[in-house]
Amino acid sequence: MASVVEYKGLKAGYHCGYCDSEAGKVSHGMWAHSMTVWDYQDLIDRGWRRSGKYVYKPVMNQTCCPQYTIRCRSLQFQPSKSHKKVLKKMVKFLAKGEISKGNCEDEPMEPTMEDAVAGDVALINKLDIQCDLKTLQESLESEEKKKGRSAKKAESNELIQSQHTEEKLGTGEPSHSVEVHTVPKPGKGADLSKPPCRKAKEIRKERKRLKLMQQNPAGELEGFQAHPEPLFPPKAKSNQPKSLEDLIFESLPENASHKLEVRVVRSSPPSSQFKATMLESYQVYKRYQMVIHKHPPDKPTVSQFTRFLCSSPLKAENPPNGPDCGYGSFHQQYWLDGKIIAVGVVDILPHCVSSVYLYYDPDYSFLSLGVYSALREIAFTRQLHEKAPQLSYYYMGFYIHSCPKMKYKGHYRPSDLLCPETYVWVPIEQCLSSLENSKYCRFNQDPEAVDEGRSKEPDRLQVFYKKTTMPYGVYKKQQKDPSEEATVLQYASLVGQACSERMLLFRN
């Protein structure tokens, strides 16, 4: 089934949840009746992001707080000192029940989902209906040929097995191990490509033998045998720092004070595990909104929770070369001693895990759950990469350099920012100096570079009109409204040529 979207155009002059400007926000938006994970992957790589079924793209050179798409290269990620402190704090709490004194680490403070699309809430409420998808014709190929799987990992790579509970994908049940390929640690087996290490005594004898040979080159040297090896063995490698997985899955004592489980449950379409825990999950969300975002008790309603954090346009897919849990929208539930204390809302896409939102029980703020969950999601991305090699990035939503509370995302490195004009990824280190001088920046340093994915043949754009799929070249001949062409061409320029040919633009 092809993606079906309804473009809603430009919306300007509404409240910004980042700088609290009453009329500074500007964005384009569309309602996604349904969407393939491949199309959404392409859209977020062009600066789009979803909130529920509403998909929006900030107008970067006009909005008060430019929002740059940011991704972390999870395979190369190394936790910083502050990240390690958060992970060690969690281990101490689980093992001994210790609660660290003082302020918690810089806690990510995303605005509420409603603030992120504040001016569009009424529109979302109005559009929250199901269109009749049964009438759609499957006239388009919805996917490009998938890239070949990368070469298999060398058999010599070890499997590190954690001794404490981790996700059992797609079931909602805890398992007791997680497999992660890592580089063999020094000292584990001989390296046959190098000469064997030798003792200092043997090296001294070698030196003495050479000295005697220089003094008596033709004579016999008793007690010495020739050694073809070099005089000095290769230097031993320094101790490698602990990996992210080592820090997260550190072994706990049998009598540990607490037990933490992370369960991955599909939220759309809702799995049986999701349905069974939805009410408890909502109660955590309600407390989070009331305590952290100071909302009145009647505002965080079940319908609002469902609309923004449970509903998703993404279609579940389970291709043979994908992760065991499949692609689509999920909730990562953090269970502490049998109760939910936090939920990370994520989308699993062909090339990435995309973080949507996190909410948690305010009673556990001392655990820095915003930082902890981000580190767990990076480790989760690395785990999925083992089965789906093309999936290797962790998308953290938007990086807003002009908003101090949102700059923490730049601390997860190595990471890249998306150029808002050419849609190429640029290492964040190369972007920061420009952002210090201007809120809006083009990161691509090549002045001749253009958007390679731009709409070049708008007549090939696919339209869904009167229950029929047709190219825009055919559709426009039936239209007399001059504003219709401007709207469709604007949509095409924003989604790019590839998506415009695959997705169906619903026109009424």
Answer for the pair 146, 39: CB distance below 8 angstroms, yes or no: no
Check residue 36 and give its pLDDT. Answer: 98
Answer for the pair 263, 174: CB distance below 8 angstroms, yes or no: yes
Predicted confidence band at 238 (pLDDT cuts at 50, 70, 90)? low
**Residue reference for tokens 């006239």:** 139
- Neighbour tally for 463: CB within 10 Å: 21
Contact residues for 196 (Cβ-Cβ < 8 A; gap 6+): 190, 229, 233
- Neighbour tally for 82: CB within 10 Å: 13
Q: What is the mean pLDDT of residues 239-246?
A: 89
d(CA 176, CA 105): 29
Q: Tell me the pLDDT tens digit for each residue of 64-96.
A: 999 999 999 999 999 999 999 999 999 999 999
Determine the straight-line distance between the first and last CA of the chain, rounded to whole angstroms: 20
Across-strand partners of 462?
A: 471
The fraction of the chain above a pLDDT of 70, given in percent, is 76
The DSSP letter of residue 389 is T
pLDDT surpasses 80 at 20? yes
Provide the phi-psi class of 124: left if phi over 0, else alpha when psi is between -120 and 50, else beta.
Answer: alpha
Check residue 194 and give its pLDDT. Answer: 55
Across-strand partners of 416?
A: 71, 427
Of the candidate ranges 142-146, 192-196, 375-379, the one whose mean pLDDT is the lowest: 142-146
Q: Which residue did the predictor score with more confidence, 172 or 102?
A: 102
- Neighbour tally for 72: CB within 10 Å: 27
Across-strand partners of 70?
A: 417
Check residue 138 and give its pLDDT. Answer: 43
Strands 468-471 and 462-465: antiparallel
d(CA 266, CA 320): 18
DSSP 3-state assignment of 191? coil
d(CA 342, CA 194): 50
Q: What is the mean pLDDT of residues 314-336?
A: 97
Check residue 200 and give its pLDDT. Answer: 75
Predicted confidence band at 480 (pLDDT cuts at 50, 70, 90)? confident
Q: Give the angle 236-238-241 at the CA atoms, nearest 5°.
A: 150
Amino acid at 58: P
Q: Tell me the pLDDT tens digit for each residue of 213-223.
A: 777 655 544 44
Predicted confidence band at 225 (pLDDT cuts at 50, 70, 90)? very low
Predicted confidence band at 9 (pLDDT cuts at 50, 70, 90)? very high
Check residue 8 and give its pLDDT. Answer: 97
- Neighbour tally for 159: CB within 10 Å: 11
Check residue 54 and give its pLDDT. Answer: 98
Contact residues for 335 (Cβ-Cβ < 8 A; gap 6+): 174, 260, 261, 262, 263, 341
pTM given for the model = 0.78
**Residue reference for tokens 């029929």:** 468
Check residue 439 and give its pLDDT. Answer: 97
Can you list the positions of beta strands (E) in 293-448? Answer: 328-336, 339-348, 352-360, 393-399, 415-418, 425-427
pLDDT surpasses 90 at 132? no
Amino acid at 311: S
Helix (H) or strand (E) holding 113: helix 113-116
Tokens matching residue 334: 């953090």
Check residue 210 and give its pLDDT. Answer: 75
Amino acid at 317: E
Round the average pLDDT of the chain to a whole number and report it: 84
Q: What is the mean pLDDT of residues 387-393?
A: 97
Q: What are phi and psi of 53, to 5 degrees?
A: -100, 0
CB-facing half-sphere around the CA of 180: CA atoms within 13 A = 24
The DSSP letter of residue 308 is I
